[in-house]
DNA sequence: ATGAAAGCGCTAACAG
DNA sequence: CTGTTAGCGCTTTCAT
C-alpha cells in the first residue's frame, strides 16, 4: 500500500505532526529529526496525498479551463500558454471542451465545483447570463481570455479588436487600396464578430472611403465559409482589390477560392488574415496577417488568475497586436 | 459558507448517513425522507465535495494526459477525442504538456500521483526507461495513444505505421509512379520515423523498384523541414515523379518548395501527406493523404483506460487507416 | 522541539 | 428505514 504520513511517523518514532512539519518546511524540529524524516520518506517512497491536503482547507492547486474547442488552432495556442504558465506555478489544469453546448458547460461547471478547483479560465466563449450566474455562485476566481462579458463583471485579457481591425484596414488603405472588402465572422458574435466589422467600417469612414454594402459578407470563421464568402464577393463585387478576413482560416479559404477562379494573389487581389495561427505561414504565398499574441494571452491570463487566487487585485489587460507582413498584400501605390 | 452534508442533515433532522444514502442512490430510506433531503439540498445549494469522496477511497474520476505539445494539430485532435470520451464517462482530464522535457515529464508524473488520479494516457511520446519505471511505480492504469513502448508493457492504441506507409507507397506505385522519394520524419524516431521508412522501402522492394539512397531524406515532421527536404530532393534527385512525406506539415512544406521552384503539383510532381490534419484540406491544391483516425484514437484510448480502471482486461488495438484522395497525386498511367 | 487531538466532508460498517 | 461511529490522510492549534 501507499505509505502515509503515519507510516513514516511510526517507522522513526515521531508524531505525525512532526512529519507534517518537515514536509511543509514549517519550523519546529531539530536538524536530526529532519534528517531522519527525510530518509524515511525516501526509503518508503512516500508522497503526500493532495486530496487530503485539499480537504483540510489548503488549495488543491488546480484550475479549470473552459473553451469551445480544444482542437482549434487558436484555442490550442492559448491553451499552450495557459499550460506553460500553470506548470511554472505548480498548478494543474483540467480542460473542458464545451463544444458551444450550454448543457455541457453547466455540467462542467458543476464538476469543477465539486472538485474544488481554485479558479477557472474561460477562453473565447460567448458568456450567456446563465453561465455568468452559475459562475458567480461558485465563488471561484475567474479570468476571461480572448473574450469579455457584458457587465464586465470578470477580469479579462484580450486584444482590442476594434482597434486591431481598424489598423488592419488602415494597413490596406496605406498600401493604396480603396475598394476593400471584408469577410466577417459570425454576424452577431459580440466578441470576434461585431467589433471587427466596426473597426473596418470606422477606418473606411475616417479615410473617406465609401462603405459599400456588397463589400461586407459574413462567414463563421471557418475555412469553408471563407471559400464561400470569397466566391460571393467575387461575384457581387468584382472590383475589389483587397479583402480583409476576420480569421486566418477564412483568409485561407479566400485564397483557395481565388485560386480556383484563377485570380492571382497578391497580383490581382490582396488578402489579409486575422489571428496568425500556424497556418498563416504555410500557405502559398504566405499569408499577411494581423497577429494576436495567443500564447501570451494564455500565459498572462493564467498568471492573472493565480494573482486573484492569492487575493491580489488584478486589472483587466489589453494586449498589443501587430501586423505581420508576408506575401499576400500588394502595395499598389507604386 | 459552502453547505456540507452535515448542514443539510441538521436542517431536516436526519443523520448524515441518511443524507449520504440519498445522494448516492443507495437503498434504505423512505420516499418522504428522500423528498425532504432533496429539497434541502436544493434549498441550501449543496453539492458534494469530490476531494472528501476521493479521500474515503472512491475514485476521484480524473485522469492525466501527457503529450509533447498540446498545440500541435495531431495532438490536439487526439486530445479532443480523449476529452469527449472523458466527458461522456464523467471523468475530468488534466493536461500535461511535456514539451519533450524529461524533467518536466517526471515532475508531472509526481503531481498526478499526488492528486490521486485514476489513470494516465500517454500520447505520441517516446517512452524512455526512466518514464516507464516511474509510471510502473505509480500503480495507475496506463494507455498509450499513438505510441508504443519497447517491452509492450503498456496497453496501446495506434495505427500500423509500417503497413500504412507501405500502402501509401503502393498507392503511388499504382498511380504509375516509379521514381518515388520519401521525406521521412526524425531519423531515429522508433514510433513515427523508422516504421514509416520501413514500409516505404518494403513496398519499393515488393514492386521491384530500385531503392535509391538519394530518394530518401530526413526531416523532423515540421513544415520548415519539409521545405528544406523538398529543395534537397529537387537538387539531388530531380527525376522523381512523386514524394511521400511522413507528415502533413512536411508535405505542405514540400508543396511550398515546389511552388517556389515553379514546379506544378500534381502535373509535374505528385505529393502525398500523412496524418490528415485539418491543414490537408486547406492547401491549394488540397492534399492527398494517408489519414490517421486521431479523434477516434483519443476517444477509444480513453475508453480503454476506463475499462482498465474498472479492472477489466483490455487488448491492444490497431486502428484502420485510409487514403484520402484529393488533388496532389497524378495518375500517370493514362 | 515535539506530541495529542480535533476536524476537513464524506462513506461505510454496524447497530438498532 | 435510520442513526452512530470510525476512519480516509493531512494540517493545525494547544499543550508540554
Q: Is A28 found in the same domain as A10?
A: yes
Q: Is A229 found in the same domain as A167?
A: yes
- Is A55 within 7 A of strand D by CB distance? yes
- Supply φ then ψ for residue A248, to 5 degrees: -60, -45
Cβ B199 vs Cβ B161: under 8 Å: yes
B331 domain-assigned: no
User: Average pLDDT for consecutive 10-residue bins of chain B (334 residues)?
Assistant: 92 94 91 93 95 92 97 96 97 96 95 97 94 90 96 94 98 97 96 97 97 96 97 96 98 96 96 97 96 98 97 96 98 88
Q: Is B80 found in the same domain as B229?
A: no
Q: Is A252 found in the same domain as A135?
A: no
- Nearest nt to the B4 alpha carbon by C1': C9
Quick one: what percent of chain A has pLDDT higher than 90?
94
- Which residues between 275 and 294 in chain B have a beta carbon less than 8 angstroms from any beta carbon of chain A? 278-279, 281-284
Strands of the sheet containing A92-97, edge to edge, are A317-319, A155-159, A141-145, A119-123, A62-67, A92-97, B92-97, B62-67, B119-123, B141-145, B155-159, B317-319
B49 domain-assigned: no
Provide the pLDDT confidence category of residue A164 given band limits of 50, 70 and 90: very high
Tens digit of each residue's pLDDT (9 = 90 or more) over B158-208: 999 999 999 999 999 999 999 999 999 999 999 999 999 999 999 999 999
B176 to chain A, any CB pair closer than 8 A? The answer is no
Q: Is B150 found in the same domain as B140?
A: yes
Q: Is B300 found in the same domain as B264?
A: no
A51 domain-assigned: no
**Dihedral class, residue A57 (left if φ above 0, else alpha if ψ from -120 to 50, else beta):** left
Contacts of B279 in chain A (CB under 8 A): 279, 282
Nucleotides of strand D within 7 Å of the protein's CB atoms? 1-5, 7-13
3-state SS assignment for residue B308: helix
- Is B12 within 7 A of strand D by CB distance? no
Nearest to A255 by CA among B114, B209, B6, B259: B259
Q: Is B169 found in the same domain as B85?
A: no
Q: What is the C-alpha to C-alpha distance for residues B45 and A139, in angstroms, rounded to an integer?
A: 12
Q: Is A38 found in the same domain as A187?
A: no
B87 to chain A, any CB pair closer than 8 A? The answer is yes
- Is A122 within 7 A of strand C by CB distance? no
Q: Is A286 found in the same domain as A187?
A: yes
Tens digit of each residue's pLDDT (9 = 90 or more) over B221-250: 999 999 999 999 999 999 999 999 999 999
A177 domain-assigned: yes
Q: In total, how many domains does chain A have?
A: 3
Domain housing B110: 62-159+295-321
pLDDT of residue A149: 93
B263 domain-assigned: yes
A112 domain-assigned: yes
Q: Is A184 found in the same domain as A246?
A: yes
Query: A6 CA, D15 C1': separation in Å?
Result: 21
State yes or no: pLDDT of A1 exceeds 90: no
Query: B169 CA, D7 C1': separation in Å?
Result: 63
Amino acid at each position: 500500500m501507499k505509505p502515509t504520513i503515519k507510516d513514516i511517523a511510526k517507522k522513526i518514532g515521531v508524531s505525525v505532526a512532526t512529519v507534517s512539519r518537515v514536509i511543509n518546511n514549517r519550523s519546529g524540529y531539530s536538524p536530526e529529526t529532519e534528517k531522519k524524516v527525510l530518509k524515511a520518506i525516501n526509503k518508503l517512497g512516500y508522497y503526500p496525498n493532495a486530496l487530503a491536503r485539499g480537504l483540510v482547507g489548503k488549495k488543491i492547486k488546480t484550475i479549470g479551463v473552459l473553451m469551445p474547442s480544444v482542437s482549434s488552432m487558436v484555442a490550442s495556442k492559448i491553451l499552450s500558454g495557459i499550460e506553460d504558465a500553470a506548470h511554472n506555478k505548480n498548478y494543474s489544469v483540467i480542460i473542458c471542451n464545451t463544444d458551444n453546448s450550454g448543457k455541457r458547460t453547466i455540467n462542467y461547471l458543476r464538476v469543477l465545483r465539486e472538485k474544488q478547483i481554485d479558479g477557472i479560465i474561460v477562453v473565447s466563449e460567448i458568456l450567456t447570463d446563465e453561465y455568468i450566474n452559475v459562475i458567480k455562485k461558485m465563488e471561484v476566481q475567474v479570468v476571461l481570455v480572448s473574450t469579455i462579458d457584458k457587465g464586465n463583471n470578470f477580469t479579462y485579457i484580450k486584444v482590442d479588436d476594434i482597434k486591431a481591425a481598424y489598423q488592419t484596414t488602415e494597413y490596406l488603405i496605406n498600401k493604396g487600396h480603396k475598394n476593400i472588402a471584408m469577410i466577417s465572422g459570425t454576424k452577431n458574435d459580440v466578441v470576434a464578430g461585431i467589433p471587427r466589422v466596426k473597426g473596418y467600417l470606422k477606418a473606411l469612414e475616417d479615410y473617406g472611403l465609401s462603405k459599400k454594402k456588397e463589400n461586407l459578407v459574413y462567414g463563421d470563421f471557418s475555412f469553408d465559409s471563407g471559400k464561400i464568402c470569397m466566391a460571393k464577393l467575387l461575384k457581387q463585387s468584382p472590383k475589389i482589390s483587397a479583402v480583409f478576413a476576420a480569421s486566418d482560416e477564412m483568409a485561407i479559404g479566400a485564397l483557395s477560392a481565388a485560386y480556383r477562379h484563377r485570380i492571382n494573389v497578391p497580383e490581382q487581389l490582396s488578402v489579409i488574415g486575422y489571428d496568425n495561427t500556424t497556418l498563416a505561414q504555410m500557405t502559398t504565398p504566405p499569408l499577411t496577417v494581423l497577429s494576436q499574441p495567443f500564447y501570451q494571452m494564455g500565459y498572462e491570463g493564467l498568471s492573472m488568475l493565480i494573482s486573484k487566487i492569492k487575493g491580489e487585485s488584478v486589472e483587466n489587460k489589453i494586449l498589443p497586436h501587430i501586423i505581420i507582413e508576408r506575401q499576400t498584400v500588394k502595395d499598389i501605390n507604386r
